[in-house]
């Protein structure tokens, strides 16, 4: 039995190569190519499950490690540099990273299945983008080198930029290109400052190896500048108020699979970066900037929730609600205690499930009626009762009702916030009330009341069918996990405990 991460990279890589060399001329060839990509992503998910089952919860050490000596592949360096351990990039997982890997490998097959019928052109490139994105994301969550993290962190931009710009909304081609540019340049500009910070960190420590840097003491003034450099990049990615402007536009114009991967994984990269790198490497600066981060988090929770109430586009409503939930995630991270950090990781996992499902749910409506404007919908429960039930389920999960996975994450984050600062905890709790306002209003407006005359008179009324088999199988794993993790949160908490406790020893 292979006890390393290597198969987790090789499976999607081999699948990508097979898709690349296959012809995609006829309809049958396109279907076969999609099946190969879907099978590849499912096998990758099974491999991540295998690693999870073999994972030792009782140690905070990184497991299943592999080492990649990148200088061996640059011929002119071999005669000038000694190929010691400092030239190797190590990949490994602990309790924190394995949770994000499981979420990534789960959502990729869901993305491919959700967009099975909607992508009509450049199918080969589309599948390659998603399988390549999976490889990069697995690398981000496993690399134990800060410069390697930066390369993979930025590499994710390329396939996602193409997914939004090429396969985005067909109704306004210029807007999807604009949204792609927004996404690319907002995140790239912030990341330039992080690169400068990494180079400075290397100049004072002589290494970019994460495990070596954990034991390296950085003076307080240098920590402040490094924190600002990292914050500039990670705050855009998570995204924090006021760096969130790119997110709603990107969600609106992205295809359904793009919205799922954006909400489910990509905006989690900022939270992961804060937990993995900022807090343990820059503990004094993290404490120093905690009041500022708390202020921005509270503003995100309240402002984004109020903004969500004003939206008229189904996707924008879900997108702005993500900004609010990420505010609570950031709040939990910067409580700097184990309860808050575990709660923030759990909430990121829960949000990845529920928010992804909501984007799929609203896209089901769009596929049938070709509009995302809320004003045109009413009485959907009359003709689509199964759909309305699923919509209600994820609406309740999104507002963190008990026995849902969101409840566990938000409760722990708010509990930790109360322990740190009572006022901050009270203000953050407003997010629960406001989220109930916009989520229940949306569900009530779309599903209840007399059936919409616009839908009854539209040319697409005959397509007003309920959830089909493919859509049901896309949503089923998200439904099951939302309930199971809400009732049995220790499935995840047991994985996180040792790694988070070890992380807090550096603070």
pLDDT digits (tens, 9 = 90+) for 344-384: 999 999 999 999 999 999 998 888 888 888 888 888 888 88
pTM of the model: 0.92
Taking residues 474-484, what's their average pLDDT?
95
Report the pLDDT value the prediction gives residue 458, as an integer from 0 to 100.
Answer: 62
* Residues 507, 280 contacting (CB under 8 angstroms): yes
- Mean pLDDT, all residues of the chain: 87
Report the pLDDT value the prediction gives residue 37, as an integer from 0 to 100.
Answer: 93
Taking residues 425-454, what's their average pLDDT?
86
Dump pLDDT digits (tens) for 190-215.
Answer: 788 899 999 999 999 888 899 999 88
**Res. 274: pLDDT tops 90:** yes
Dump pLDDT digits (tens) for 398-430.
Answer: 999 999 999 999 999 999 999 998 999 899 988
Higher pLDDT: 336 or 187? It is: 336
Dump pLDDT digits (tens) for 282-325.
Answer: 999 999 999 999 999 999 899 888 888 888 888 889 988 888 88
Assign 461 a pLDDT band (cuts: 50, 70, 90).
Answer: low
Q: Which two tokens stand for residue 398?
A: 């999104």
Report the pLDDT value the prediction gives residue 366, as an integer from 0 to 100.
Answer: 86
| Cα torsion through 307, 313, 314, 320, rounded to 10 | -30
Dump pLDDT digits (tens) for 219-249.
Answer: 888 999 999 999 988 888 888 777 777 888 8
How far, in Å, CA of 272 to CA of 457, rounded? 48
Task: Say which residues have a Cβ less than 8 Å from residue 502's Cβ, sequence separation at least 6.
Answer: 60
E strand segments, 10-86? 63-69
How far, in Å, CA of 95 to CA of 335, rounded? 20
Report the pLDDT value the prediction gives residue 353, as an integer from 0 to 100.
Answer: 95
In percent, the amount of the chain with pLDDT more than 70 equals 93
Dump pLDDT digits (tens) for 121-166.
Answer: 888 899 999 999 999 999 999 999 999 999 998 899 899 989 988 8
Q: Dihedral of CA 317/318/319/320: which sign?
A: positive
Report the pLDDT value the prediction gives residue 31, as an integer from 0 to 100.
Answer: 87
Report the pLDDT value the prediction gives residue 292, as an integer from 0 to 100.
Answer: 92
How far, in Å, CA of 277 to CA of 96, rounded? 12
Report the pLDDT value the prediction gives residue 201, as an integer from 0 to 100.
Answer: 92
* Nearest alpha carbon to residue 47 among 116, 93, 89: 93
How far, in Å, CA of 314 to CA of 252, rounded? 9
Give residue limits of the domains in the chain.
289-507
How far, in Å, CA of 303 to CA of 133, rounded? 32
Could you say which DSSP state residue 421 is in? -
DSSP H/E element including 181: helix 173-205
Could you say which DSSP state residue 373 is in? B
Instruction: Give residue for tokens 């049901």.
Output: 472
Assign 85 a pLDDT band (cuts: 50, 70, 90).
Answer: very low
Taking residues 56-76, what's their average pLDDT?
75
């Amino acid at each position: 039995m292979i006890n390393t991460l290597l198969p987790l990279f090789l499976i999607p890589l081999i699948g990508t190569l097979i898709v690349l060399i296959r012809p995609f001329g006829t309809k049958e060839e396109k279907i076969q190519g999609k099946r190969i990509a879907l099978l590849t992503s499912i096998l990758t998910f099974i491999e991540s499950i295998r690693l999870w089952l073999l994972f030792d919860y009782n140690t905070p050490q990184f497991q299943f490690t592999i080492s990649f000596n990148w200088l061996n592949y640059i011929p002119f360096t071999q005669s000038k540099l000694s190929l010691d351990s400092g030239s190797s990039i190590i990949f490994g997982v602990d309790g924190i990273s394995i949770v994000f890997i499981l979420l990534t490998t789960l959502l990729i097959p869901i993305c491919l299945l959700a967009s099975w019928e909607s992508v009509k052109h450049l199918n080969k490139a589309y599948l390659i983008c998603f399988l390549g994105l999976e490889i990069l994301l697995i690398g981000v969550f496993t690399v134990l080198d800060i410069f390697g993290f930066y390369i993979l962190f930025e590499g994710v931009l390329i396939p996602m930029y193409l997914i939004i710009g090429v396969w985005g909304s067909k109704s306004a081609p210029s807007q999807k290109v604009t949204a792609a540019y927004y996404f690319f340049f907002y995140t790239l500009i912030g990341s330039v400052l992080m690169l400068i910070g990494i180079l400075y960190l290397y100049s004072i420590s002589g290494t970019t190896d994460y495990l070596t840097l954990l034991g390296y003491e950085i003076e307080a003034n240098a920590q402040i500048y490094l924190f600002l450099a990292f914050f500039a990049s990670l705050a855009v990615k998570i995204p924090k108020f006021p760096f969130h402007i790119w997110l709603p536009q990107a969600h609106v114009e992205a295809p359904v699979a793009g919205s799922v991967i954006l909400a489910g994984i990509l905006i989690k990269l900022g939270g992961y970066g804060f937990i993995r790198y900022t807090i343990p490497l820059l503990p004094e600066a993290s404490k120093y900037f905690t009041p500022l981060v708390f202020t921005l988090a509270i503003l995100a929770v309240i402002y984004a929730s109020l903004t969500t109430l004003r939206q008229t586009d189904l996707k924008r409503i879900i997108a702005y609600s993500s900004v609010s939930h990420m505010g609570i995630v950031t709040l939990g991270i910067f409580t700097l205690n184990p309860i808050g950090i575990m709660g923030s990781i759990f909430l990121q996992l829960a949000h990845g499930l529920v928010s992804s499902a909501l984007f799929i749910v609203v896209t089901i409506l769009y596929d049938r009626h070709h509009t995302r404007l809320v004003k045109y919908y009413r009485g959907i429960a009359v003709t689509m009762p199964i759909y309305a039930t699923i919509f209600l389920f994820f609406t309740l999960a999104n507002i963190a009702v008990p026995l849902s996975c969101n409840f566990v994450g938000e409760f722990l984050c708010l509990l930790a916030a109360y322990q740190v600062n009572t006022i901050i905890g009270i203000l953050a709790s407003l997010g629960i009330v406001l989220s109930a306002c916009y989520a229940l209003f949306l569900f009530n407006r779309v599903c209840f009341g007399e059936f919409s005359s616009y839908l009854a008179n539209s040319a697409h009324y005959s397509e007003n069918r309920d959830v089909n088999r493919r859509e049901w199988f896309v949503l089923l794993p998200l439904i099951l996990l939302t309930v199971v993790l809400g009732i049995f949160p220790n499935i995840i908490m047991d994985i996180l405990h040792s790694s988070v406790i070890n992380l807090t020893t550096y603070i």
